[in-house]
Structure 1
Amino acid sequence: MTEITVIRDVDTIIAYDAAGDRQVYRHGGDVAFDETGLLCVGERFDGPATTELSGKARMVMPGLIDIHCHSHDEPMAKGIFEDVGTAALWGQAMYEYSSVIDGGADARAACLTVMLGDLMRSGATTVLDIAGIHDTWLDIAAQSGVRGYLAPGFRQADWVVHDSHRLDFAWDEEAGRDAFARALEFADQARAHPSGRLDGVVSPSQVETCRPDLLVDAADEARKRGMRLTVHAAQTMAEHEELLRRTGLTAVQYLDQLGVLGPDVIIGHCIFTDHHSWTRQRTRADLVTLAERSTSVAHCPVTFARSGMALETLGAYRRAGVNVAIGTDSYPFNMLEEMRQALICSRLGGRSVFDLSTGDIFEAATLAGARALGRSDIGRLSVGAKADLVVVDLDTPTMRPVYDPLRSLVHCAAERAVERVYVDGRLTVDEGRPTGIDYEGALREMQALQDWACARARLFDPRGRDIAELAPKSLPVVQG
């Protein structure tokens, strides 16, 4: 017998209005669902129920969609490099520091577990994870209960930073082709997984680390499979200048010239387009091109804001007709905090409180994410859609007093108010704790992994610096 859950007399439901293609508030009524999908949203449900829960002082909303994140070693780097960067590379820390903390193969399971646990606790029900292939990726993603899009990255060049000021590329085209073949095989395995909640994504890692023919072939293979393609592009000024040197084009122009852009493509970050104030261009054609090609952008403001850079602006992209969804990229892997930062950065960049509203950012984290993935059955609460939903406790102190519950959640409470999370009607987070994975155990393991990786940092730094020199602590350490 199928188990049916009913949440009775819900205080607030964020429901999908099909006529307006928008999210709306509904007060009162039931939310009923099973593993096949949503059976009732906002009406009275009179059918049989296996489990009945009270909706008093609760908000039920669609699960959030994280369109761009990285497990791999990212969760282990927390608290190390937030105050550093390479001055000659516009302050970006990624090129010089991202490969210094290496937990090795033994760290992959713990990093993935912590990332998924953090994301689900913040209301994420769908996650697009870009990482390296490892033996536990499929199993842990399935055990977590998340709806997972797994994107094994591949590239033909590694970044090499000389003397903390010059970025070069070490090319191995054959190795990149081999990685491409393995990535396609893994993506096919993800799609065939018996859970039915996993899929593959074709992911050439960065626009500047792949030759043009590999980018074209990747797009072709994704389209043959009906899969999404995601690529980091227009993410840093170093990349922007490198593409100008090679091609005379911006990343958007280059990908468009190659025929890569399309409604099945998600560009990671897409910050430094031709209208950005840091670039040499003074045209405004890139956003028009993205909108015309129906290409989506994965906006991950937190990690870039840490380096002093921002997309200009999310409101402007939306007004240009570009489908912009939200990702977390790296830690803190918190969708609600990411949404808040996206809202603040957009208003700062646009110099106006009116540049973006709370409703706009919620739409980006739900409906826009679903559009990016080509889906009309997630990111919304409507009868027949997937039962991916979040229960928010309106009595949480950080939510009170409640005038507008979504504003209280995004601007104040964040994950502290998330009580339960369901994916395909199954409980994946209960009272703030993931149900399908050993989240607490992975957190304990992470400290030992970080200590070990920090002790080995000099082995991966071209200049042989130890961790104390690479990442000085926030305050002086004194003895006694």
Structure 2
Amino acid sequence: MPVTLIQNADLVLAWDAAAQQHVYLPNADLAFEDGRLLFVGRDYRGPAAETLSGSGLMLMPGLVNIHSHPSSEPMNKGFTDEVGTPGLYNSSLYEYLPIFRPEPDAVHSCVRVALSELLLSGVTTVADLSMAHPGWLDLLAESGMRVCVAPMFRSARWYTKNGHMVEYAWDPQAGEKAMEEAFTLVERAEQHESGRLFGMAVPAQIDTCTPELLKDSRDEARRRGISWQIHAAQSVSEFHEITRRHGFTPVGWLQEQGLLDQRAIIGHGIFLDDHPSTPWHTRRDLDILAETGTTVAHCPTVFARRGITLKHLGRYKRSGVNMGLGTDTYPHNMLDEMRLAAYLARTQATDPRSLTTTELFEAATIGGARALGRDDIGRLAPGCRADFVMVDITHPMMRPARDPVRSLIYAAGDRALKAVYVDGQKVVEDGEVLTMDYRAAAEQLNEAQKRVAETVPERDWAHRPAEKIAPPSFLWK
């Protein structure tokens, strides 16, 4: 492949290998070939088949999203913005999550909408935690993104018959079969012709998996050298369920079973033994996460909607916990998620110094890359994949540009993104996704949601219509 040179960019957010951190590098060049970065620095002297001007641009590493559910969450827009079950500590998981699922023929529209939104907000790598569905791998490849394929499996499904008690329908054999199928799918992903898919093992939730399924999946993930992720410490109900079953907190139980290490990721990890909503007789959970090198995938928006939050991102970081970020819900906008993560951390700490933008950006790049076992993404350095974002630093909302990353996160957001490249291929330009038809997918999703709304009473334990569960903001006249 010919060398492409982006010459004399106003600013490159480059990786300083000696300091192990991102640095601002003004008036710099970036060259790439065959999907890899060849040069990041000043005064490139090598060959170039194509030269692009970097004037007015900041080049930064593509964002790494380690927790997302593209095949389902876009359907929930307008349904779950303001719902939470009072009898289950305002979680929406057990009463509402099962009843707003897309029809099979709407799943591809969900995925295209979610991945388009991610690309438009500068995400170049995403972990897609979904139940396997037909055509999944080819659809992910179509997006042009780098995707960690993470097919979920479990031994039980949860449900509620009254809105205040969670029950479980167990089928351990089905869970083992689903795990085997998931690992087969991971193999197919790693062999995909796109070269941009890789895999992760995901037993879906700590409370829906048998200890045997957890152990078997962890052992196999270690054997294959892939990451392992589980939803845990994500609700008060789950915290109480695990302490009732095992006498340990969710984090404590995972550690007791030998499941935590540097390739383990806990989705959410909110309700630790010192959280105000779940006080326990120990104060070890945060130390366990730090000592084992376990990553927490922090997704603030989905919980903030229900008055729930991590206590808090800055505290976890300062305790030595590796943090990554995700978009668990709509909108799939990583920059919005980053801004909210910062503000929630500071309000929870009542301290503006509790979390720096440096720490926040690290979580969205190298923290996520570390969790996925990748040292070739989330940073701009020779040898890394050519996954990067062009930011228009002349955009009015980027001005003043004294500290461009702060201006991007706290002011301009995705409005200032000029282009996105994955593996050296342009996938976004001037606010348009080049690989998928975002608008058509959104329109198809709009029609599919109308059909889902009609069937809500059939899936709801109380047989309520969607309008009663999620009343509109204003009366329709």
In structure 2, the gaps of 5 or more residues are: none
> How far is 1:36 from its partner?
3.8
Distance 1:229 1:319 in 2: 24
Paired residue for 2:154?
Answer: 155
Distance 2:442 2:470 in 1: 22
Paired residue for 1:221?
Answer: 220
Paired residue for 1:79?
Answer: 78
In structure 1, the gaps of 5 or more residues are: none
Paired residue for 1:324?
Answer: 323
Note if contact 2:156-2:172 (Cα within 8 Å) is conserved in structure 1: yes
Paired residue for 1:178?
Answer: 177
Paired residue for 2:360?
Answer: 361
Note if contact 2:12-2:25 (Cα within 8 Å) is conserved in structure 1: yes
Distance 1:274 1:34 in 2: 49
2:292 paired with 1:296: no
Note if contact 2:103-2:448 (Cα within 8 Å) is conserved in structure 1: no
* Superposition map of 1:302-341 within 5 A: 302-341=301-340
Distance 2:283 2:61 in 1: 35
Paired residue for 1:104?
Answer: 103
> How far is 1:282 from its partner?
5.3
> How far is 1:278 from its partner?
1.1
2:246 paired with 1:250: no
2:414 paired with 1:415: yes
Distance 1:45 1:280 in 2: 57
Note if contact 2:235-2:271 (Cα within 8 Å) is conserved in structure 1: yes
**Equivalent residue of 2:98, what SS?**
coil
* Superposition map of 1:58-457 within 5 A: 58-281=57-280, 283-457=282-456
Give the residue type in structure 1 aligned to 2:415: R
Deviating beyond 3 angstroms after TM superposition, the runs of 4 or more aligned structure 1 residues are none
Distance 1:42 1:53 in 2: 15
1:49-74 CA distance string (max 9 Å, x none): 23222211111000000000001221
**Count of residue pairs the alignment pairs up:** 477
Distance 1:428 1:136 in 2: 21
Distance 2:338 2:283 in 1: 26
**Equivalent residue of 1:11, what SS?**
strand
1:189-230 CA distance string (max 9 Å, x none): 111112111011111000000011110001011111111111
Give the residue type in structure 2 aligned to 1:69: S
1:255-281 CA distance string (max 9 Å, x none): 111111111111100000112111121
Note if contact 1:73-1:107 (Cα within 8 Å) is conserved in structure 2: no
**Aligned-residue identity in percent:** 44
**Equivalent residue of 1:346, what SS?**
helix
Give the residue type in structure 2 aligned to 1:384: G
Note if contact 2:4-2:31 (Cα within 8 Å) is conserved in structure 1: yes
Note if contact 1:35-1:426 (Cα within 8 Å) is conserved in structure 2: no
2:458 paired with 1:459: yes
Distance 2:282 2:165 in 1: 28
**Equivalent residue of 1:94, what SS?**
coil
Note if contact 1:297-1:324 (Cα within 8 Å) is conserved in structure 2: yes
Give the residue type in structure 2 aligned to 1:227: I
Note if contact 1:130-1:203 (Cα within 8 Å) is conserved in structure 2: yes
Q: Which moved more, 1:424-433 or 1:202-211?
A: 424-433
Note if contact 2:389-2:419 (Cα within 8 Å) is conserved in structure 1: yes
**Equivalent residue of 1:9, what SS?**
strand
Note if contact 1:112-1:137 (Cα within 8 Å) is conserved in structure 2: no
Distance 1:50 1:305 in 2: 48
Distance 2:163 2:236 in 1: 16
Give the residue type in structure 1 aligned to 2:345: S
Query: C-alpha root-mean-square deviation of aligned residues, in Å?
Result: 1.1
Distance 1:136 1:413 in 2: 36
1:115-138 CA distance string (max 9 Å, x none): 111001100000001001112210
> How far is 1:29 from its partner?
1.7
Distance 2:401 2:281 in 1: 45
Distance 1:143 1:125 in 2: 13
Give me the TM-score of the superposition, normalised by structure 2: 0.98
**Equivalent residue of 1:429, what SS?**
strand
> How far is 1:410 from its partner?
0.1
> How far is 1:12 from its partner?
1.2
Distance 1:389 1:42 in 2: 15
Distance 1:213 1:260 in 2: 12
1:3-23 CA distance string (max 9 Å, x none): 322211111111111111111
Distance 1:119 1:15 in 2: 22
Distance 2:271 2:419 in 1: 38
Distance 2:368 2:66 in 1: 6
Distance 1:32 1:466 in 2: 56
Give me the TM-score of the superposition, normalised by structure 1: 0.97
Give the residue type in structure 2 aligned to 1:85: G
**Equivalent residue of 2:28, what SS?**
coil
2:47 paired with 1:32: no
